[in-house]
Structure 1
């Protein structure tokens, strides 16, 4: 049959051409994607292997879903389960299993020799028997992740194992803040603390996952809970985070955080970026865990993302709050959003989780910082969920949000006697956020700017629905709209089951929320365009069904009557718990955020006046120091947006008001206080007494002394003078502060809290210095901390016969004294001062010394010497010391560099020795000394 040979020949020719084309493309350096992710043989396609597809245009989400998207390599390259027939396909090859590895893994492998090994974090599944072609170092069976070492020569065999789901390099977390620039007026925190003074986070446990903070810091003292997972390292970053979350303000303004009585614990992130075990969270009653750190851009659903989703889904009452990152100006080079500038740059795969809360950073005005990392998540979900004040890094924004979450948890627990689930706290935070840009969310600011007061208002009003929904079930709730409402906002949130590592889309259970008004109009949630083009990502949100996010939000302008909230279990595998939070925004409102009632503003400093309002246009801001009888201008033609202005606070001690005047109305603040800050100092620190003194504050009738007792500053004593003698035996601690008391009994600003024992003050003497002068003399400088009961000062120098009195000074009002001593002998000279009191007692300072060189450039002492001898010289140079016995035999040699060098002599026998110093081979000093046993 002539046809069959022809058919075979044609087939062979086709396969030859096809294989050659594959080989040519595979070897082409122009397409590194093909080299990394395509098989390098002409073997037929295996049913277990997906395809590597390159599209000429960016494919739609529907097309990718149709052909089973396994992994997004870039915006044009995808790993698909099925071979597409779309005309935009550039090429289609059988994929190898490298898509299960991170790009950094593949890049490192490119530079390794065959016998070299690489250490990896590996996520696995269905591990019925140990992984092959590797050596296990550690393993977390709960989250199915381990650390393994793999030879490069075994790489293909290792990654081809079906149990291997994802392989990544070991990453080191990086803190995401520089300094503490806290501003509690932002995000309505001061306003919330003033409006809800009983809500302080008491008994709520917040865990800080990073290095350990200073647990002895007076702003955190007495509220640290040791859990056993702490890092061995203390860092300033960790202390800033803990202080922002829950600082008590004992040290001063910058030491006050959001939840001032919350309990704090710490968990190290140095060994693993995975969450702690479930028992750790439940056993230590941890409600919030703060994560103010990041790695690089990791746009995939990695093992950490899965683990945090699983942990929250399992424990239910622990909310994980992450900073979005400080790489908002960087561009992803992997995933569906690769190559898009200023988008999809969250710092770490753990931030791709869906059951957590990711927080971006803003200025005080609410403008998002350029370096604040942005969404979308790898699969198009909204990230970050909210933004908060974090001018020097999103670490602080996350910490502030963690503090607000503690306040919410405290308010909920006080009201309902149980801990709020993580999804409910998340919904309360998101629903109460102030709109950042347009009507709906964005990939830059999420659902808006954190608003602590609004969240607590929602808890107090119990504007919450919760329940459980099954597949296909519809549940409805009715909301009655109050008069004067300008907007109804409704937010749905649920804790979704974890997806599989490397899942193309993270969502498992799909719930849908709609709202129906009295006129039968149906309102759908806001949805962003997640198509991977910058123009699409910048588009305003539209109202439509959401099939990506576990948070959905509806806003209805000018609602009236009754609104029906409808929830549908569109695609639910098992009963899904949900939480719906709603709130009403008045048509018109204005309230001051700073200053608020009874707050104390530092006098003679710049502060930021802030407000929150629906009013637009401009107005005049003024202040009053006489209860509103007269007003002094601060600024005119002040634009009401943005809602802040800087004010140079006057230098006075007074109650005050501020007022915003518009064309047809005005808004006066609650009374607040302006006060200078006293400067507290230690005058003397004697064996049994301590004297404190401070500057006089004009207008103060008295002063209140505070003492840190346990973990709070407590009122200790009130005096009318500007100093006080305290007996140490009567003090339970050594941290003190002072505040002025006004004529009407109101209290002014506290001084910074000081530890009197650490101020460098002894019993009267702050410092005594001895400095050489150019004429071989000595200038003595003395500073006293107090003149209390002192009469005279005596300068003294030590001589061969004892201490010699050099001169006496009668003390008056000065605290600083100098004395010149001339014509001094060569050697080490010791000085001290003797203070005499009105009772005739003498008080001595510590002795100070100075070295005088007259005829020689070197001084050798002591002589005779025992175990060591010291050489002093006028300048530091490289020299060599040689010690010889009396026969000329060298017994010790040593190189020296410093002005003072000590030579140890234990190995030398008793006797007389020559001590010589050589510089560049020339002897520049020689002297005999006696060595004694």
Structure 2
């Protein structure tokens, strides 16, 4: 009856006939816009446990078994029937995902990735498999070759965006060492983002995938929908599985529904980003500031979103990929020690407690709990600054922590994996675990943010208080006294008999300065803009930077603001070993020595059948060069030279690169390139011969003088071959000649190159036709071809050909300077030709047909 009444009246709020709690705002808007009830569309539905769709006129497109959720194709009329029978828990319209941003030049220094790679070079991500959910990445890209794990759920097409995300996460740095990924030893899988539901658990289990990156979004959605609950369900059942989502690039848009309607907040792009057991990531741009285009929190129910921030030059896509790579690196470190993967909630806790504050002071809805610091997170792993434990329902558990001397700031994060909430719940939190930190005399509550629906309230600074929204309880204490602290955990409001919680902490040492970049194995390009990064806890903010080169310290910048954490530097134009020095209130802090290098400018000298040549400009201060060839899945050295050229015998490999060697170490390779696509010829770039007045002008340009001993110019006329000139090449690549010894007819010119190794190479022939004024030249004569050619001065003439009896066997009009005359039907013999102009004999002669 309810369905009949709704269908009959079909009022603008007809979706309320089925209860707001079961229909998404997206679908509600479509209903209000008078959706065609019989038209088939794609819907996302979550069914009550045990309900099947086999007997219904519904086409199942994808399914997530553990949450009993589906993407289906059917009519709204069919969905109405399911709603009426209470078989559907929630229904939404299927939406089309889009990539969140294009890739700018990645920055692996800001989040201290290069520092952690330098400090822990053994951790490459070997044994980890990471899924990239969007379109397919290019598995043939030289940075991703032999990395792909086939899962059978790829998208139909590839995209550069997916390739960029995969390269940030696990690229091998074959194109350029500067852009080697976070975990270059990891494997990669691909998943189609057109399925907004989580992939089936069997995909992750069978392929040992423990992390999935999601750099895509849809429109702004502020509700706990099917996908949000499904992702929470999946992580709850597979607690070691990490999902990392980009926050979105809709920061200048406002939500059209929900608690925060029309406010410049709560604009995450997709209900799946409202999940609790995932990580959402915002970005800093090239200026290391928060871009106004970045989507921001809070979640629909006031939870802190995004959780973390990372570098993303043009948006949050690559920031998410950065965090995915760092999370995989932490997984790898944990697994190396314990033989199994950690819970996702533990990794989230460590990333948060070790993060650097960014943007507004403290936690906020722009940057979440801070900017990921890969090195500090790894320090927490390696120093075992974490603890995982079970708390029973109604239990109050007390954990003791010892804080050392000289700590400027203590950061602590308690996290847990929460059960999925009811769909469209007003508050997503199910297990409400409370905690407080105490030093025996003072009690510290976690930091919380205002959830009031006003712009001023959402911009307010964090306050300490009980947190009944988030699955993260976050504490900081400035200048804590050394000694014993207790963390009290209260589990009175949990839904199950017990809950596993994870605690991590990071103690920031007082009055400490450390260089973060460049590192000891950094190679910077010369005469380029770079950023220098450091970690500083001195309250004295003004300092001076110098650099050492060739035994002399020179001022780089004075009056540095240490709190900023970085300084811009245009590197010098001289290659070699350098060192940085920061002077803080008279105290000196030197960096490890590093190298500044020129990048070779490499080109293909020649490209012949059996070999090709590479050439480059000489690099100052270098002692030699290494030649790299892409073999299987990596660039490998195939030779060294002190010259600026190198000849390669051809094989099936295509990509090559050159690296200069200095006495202090290896420099920067040029970008690896495919030699076959560089437009190089086999030495002969250009060879021409042109008649100018009474002479022939010849021009030759070689692609390279490499291995060429001399150039020989040859001339062929009437079957006779003459040598006109021979020139020793040395380093010359351009040549000019003039030939004034001309006879009427066809003249062929060649060039022959003699190589230093004894070989040689002919150019293609160039033919010049020389006319005889007042005459018509027939060639070739004799001829055995089906054509003979008549060379004139271009005037219109008439031609008659007669046999020996005087019978005319062929006639035609000559219209061009070179006229082709078909003599195929003429029998072998001697023929007489007569050429007339205005009825008078212009020229005559004989030719022989074989």
Give the TM-score, by structure 2 length. 0.82
Residue 182 in structure 1 maps to residue 101 in structure 2: no
Q: Is the 8 A contact 1:707 1:736 kept in 2?
A: yes
Distance in 1 of aligned mates of 2:92 and 2:722: 75
Is the partner of 1:414 in helix, strand or coil?
helix
Give per-residue Cα distances to partners, 1:287-317, cap 9 Å, x unaligned: 2111111111011111111111111111222
Q: Counterpart of 2:253?
A: 330
Q: CA deviation at 1:359?
A: 0.4
RMSD of aligned alpha carbons: 3.7
2:459 to 515, 538, 544: 538
Residue 737 of structure 1: aligned partner: 657
From 202, 214, 231, the equivalent of 1:279 is: 202
Match of 1:298 among 221, 241, 254: 221
Structure 2 residue 30 is matched with structure 1 residue 110: no
Moved more, 379-388 or 205-214: 205-214
Q: Does 1:391 align with 2:330?
A: no
Which residue is 2:708 aligned to? 789
Give the equivalent residue in structure 2 for 1:813. 731
Q: Residues 149 and 752 from structure 1, CA distance in 2 versus in 1: closer, same or farther, beyond 3 angstroms?
A: closer
SS in 1 for 2:13: helix
Question: Which residues in structure 2 correspond to 1:470-549 (within 5 Å)?
Answer: 470-519=392-441, 521-549=442-470
Is 1:208–1:266's contact at 8 Å kept on the other side of the alignment?
Answer: yes
Contact 2:412 2:505 in 1 (8 A): yes
In structure 1, C-alpha distance between the alignment counterparts of 2:237 and 2:682, rounded to whole Å: 60
Please say if 1:259 is aligned against 2:163: no
Matches within 5 A, 1:628-777: 629-728=551-650, 733-744=653-664, 746-765=665-684, 767-768=685-686
- For the residue of structure 1 that corresponds to 2:475, the secondary structure is strand
1:340 is aligned, of 233, 251, 263, to: 263
Match of 1:557? 478
State the SS of the aligned residue for 1:631.
strand
Change (3 A) 1:141 1:647: closer
3-state SS, counterpart of residue 186 of structure 1? coil
1:836 maps to 2:729:
no
Note the alpha carbon deviations across 1:634-666, whole angstroms, 9 max, x for none. Answer: 222232242222212112221111122233323
Per-residue deviation, residues 327-381 of structure 1 (Å, max 9, x unmatched): 111100011111112x101111111111000000113564221111101111111
Q: 1:37 to 1:592 in 2, by over 3 A?
A: farther
Change (3 A) 1:148 1:438: closer
Greater mean alpha carbon deviation, residues 424-433 or residues 358-367: 358-367
CA distance in 2, matches of 1:201, 1:848: 59
Q: Conserved in 1, the CA contact under 8 Å of 2:575 and 2:596?
A: yes
Structure 2: distance between partners of 1:684 and 1:634 = 44
Distance 1:414 1:131, change over 3 A: closer
Aligned residue for 2:331, secondary structure, equals: helix
CA contact (8 A) 2:69 2:230 kept: no
Question: Of 133, 144, 156, which residue of structure 1 is paired with 2:68?
Answer: 144
Structure 1 residue 548: deviation in Å? Answer: 0.9
Report if the CA contact (8 A) 1:300-1:352 is conserved. yes
* Pair 839,370 (structure 1): closer, same or farther in 2 beyond 3 Å: closer
Residue matched to 2:811? none
Q: Among 348, 362, 367, which residue is 2:289 paired with?
A: 367
Change (3 A) 1:441 1:131: farther
- Cross-structure match for 1:288: 211
Residue ranges of structure 2 left out of the alignment (5+ in a row): 1-5, 770-785, 787-850
Please list every run of 5 or more consecutive structure 1 residues that lacks an aligned counterpart in the other structure. Answer: 1-22, 28-33, 40-47, 51-69, 72-98, 852-865, 867-933
Are the structure 2 counterparts of residues 843 and 769 from structure 1 closer, same or farther at C-alpha, using a change threshold of 3 Å? closer
Q: Return the offset for 1:558.
A: 1.9
Report the Cα distance in structure 1 between the residues aligned to 2:25 and 2:341, rounded to whole angstroms.
38
For residues 457 and 618 of structure 2, what CA distance do their matches in structure 1 show?
63
Check conservation: 1:365, 1:644, Cα contact below 8 A: no
Paired with 1:643 and 1:774, the residues of 2 have a C-alpha distance of 70
TM-superposed deviation, 1:785? 3.4
The yes-or-no answer on 1:598 pairing with 2:512 is no
Quote the offset at 1:830 in angstroms: 11
Tell me the residue number matched to 2:778.
none
SS in 2 for 1:658: strand
Change (3 A) 1:103 1:832: farther
CA distance in 2 between partners of 1:366 and 1:501 (Å): 38
Over 3 Å counting, the alpha-carbon distance change for 1:415 and 1:141 in structure 2 is closer
Equivalent residue number for residue 191 of structure 1: 115
- Alignment check: 8 A CA contact 2:104 2:313 kept: no
- Corresponding position of 1:241: 165
Q: Give the alignment's TM-score, normalised by structure 1.
A: 0.75
1:224 corresponds to which residue? 148
* Match in the other structure for 1:417: 339
